[in-house]
């Protein structure tokens, strides 16, 4: 059965490569996209896809009224992603969400909408398989090591902090246990904010600096021993594409909200 796909953020960094890949995939058909700067244009012509037209819209309402699709993939901005997702879910569409910057409260609201309309959304801070494996290893470590913090690396122009990868990791580790602190943050001598931000009870330190692309370190410590788990991303979008396509094909297997690509993987 052909799955009709709509990409919100179709002309962005991930969306561009994803659009090209979907047009080559058996069982998937790219039928439209969202682009605030190129609404009304033809995505097939812009990206030289060779099969079209594939209409672009500047708002999700018009897209939902005019395009028949099964799955929306959202890689936009946090200030519009939530409204895109809720609008699509209310129309019974299934959603893959890769946009970072949404809060736990946002996800609670999104989950309620998905449940009410008997559809599905898979949200992940990172669709790269190596990042997914880091999260699983970190969850294992958190079961046995009560002292851990997270370092979040990204380029200097990334506006949101922490990254979606780190926000998701902190959320998941907090479900295992809250780290023990030898010195409580409130007892810190000097600048308390130098100890980072508490995200779900876990200290997170966000570095935003030219030279970084995207990375995460989960650091675990015990007396006389340290475990460091690290993932680094390069310039290309290819590591994310494989995971996104996996998510698209798994959406029909559940209802409601799932957070993390590994929730639909056999690991």
Dihedral over Cα of 229, 234, 237, 238: its sign: negative
CA proximity to 241, closest of 14, 59, 62: 14
| Helix, strand, or coil (residue 5) | strand
pLDDT at site 233 = 87
- Quote the pTM value: 0.82
pLDDT at 267 over 80: no
Please give the Cα distance from 23 to 171 (Å, whole number).
35
Number of helices and strands (H, E) in the chain?
A: 8, 12
Close Cβ partners of 82 (under 8 Å, ≥ 6 residues apart): 102, 106, 109, 110
> What number does CATH give the domain 3-123+236-264?
3.40.50.720
Whole-angstrom Cα distance, residue 86 to residue 60? 10
| Cα distance between residue 197 and residue 179, in whole Å | 14
- Whole-number pLDDT of residue 214: 87
- The per-residue b/e assignment along 105-124, b for 16 or more CB within 10 angstroms, e otherwise, is ebbeebbebbeebebbbbbb
The CATH class, in words, for 129-233 is alpha beta
Q: What is the pLDDT of residues 54-92, one digit of tens each?
A: 999 999 999 999 999 999 999 999 889 999 999 999 999
CB 162 within 8 A of CB 204: yes
Distance CA 215, CA 232 (A): 4
The average pLDDT across 130-153 equals 96
Q: Mind listing the pLDDT tens digit for each residue in 158-215?
A: 988 999 889 999 999 999 999 999 999 999 999 999 999 999 999 999 999 998 888 9
Delimit the domains of the chain by residue range: 3-123+236-264, 129-233
């Amino acid at each position: 059965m052909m799955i009709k796909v709509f990409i919100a953020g179709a002309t962005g960094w991930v969306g561009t490569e994803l659009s090209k890949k979907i047009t080559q995939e058996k069982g998937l058909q790219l039928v439209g996209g969202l682009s605030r700067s190129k609404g009304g244009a033809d995505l097939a012509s812009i990206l030289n896809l060779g099969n079209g037209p594939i209409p672009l819209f500047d708002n999700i309402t018009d897209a939902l009224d005019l395009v028949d699709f099964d799955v929306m993939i959202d890689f936009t901005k946090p200030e519009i992603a939530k409204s895109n997702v809720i609008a699509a879910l209310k129309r019974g569409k299934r959603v893959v969400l890769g946009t970072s910057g949404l809060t736990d409260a946002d996800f609670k609201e999104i989950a309620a909408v998905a449940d009410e309309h008997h559809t599905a959304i898979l949200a992940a801070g990172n669709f790269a398989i190596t990042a997914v494996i880091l999260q699983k290893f970190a969850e294992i470590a958190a079961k046995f090591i009560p002292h851990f913090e997270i370092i979040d690396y990204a380029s200097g122009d990334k506006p949101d902090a922490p990254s979606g990868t780190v926000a998701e990791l902190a959320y998941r580790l907090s479900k295992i246990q809250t780290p023990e602190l030898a010195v409580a943050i409130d007892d810190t001598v000097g600048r308390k904010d130098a100890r980072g931000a508490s995200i779900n009870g876990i200290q997170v330190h966000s570095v935003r600096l030219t030279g970084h692309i995207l990375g995460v370190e989960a650091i675990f410590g015990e007396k006389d021993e340290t475990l460091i788990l690290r993932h680094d991303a390069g310039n290309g979008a290819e590591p994310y594409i494989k995971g996104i396509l996996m998510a698209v094909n798994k959406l029909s297997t559940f209802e409601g909200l799932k957070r993390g690509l590994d929730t639909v993987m056999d690991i």
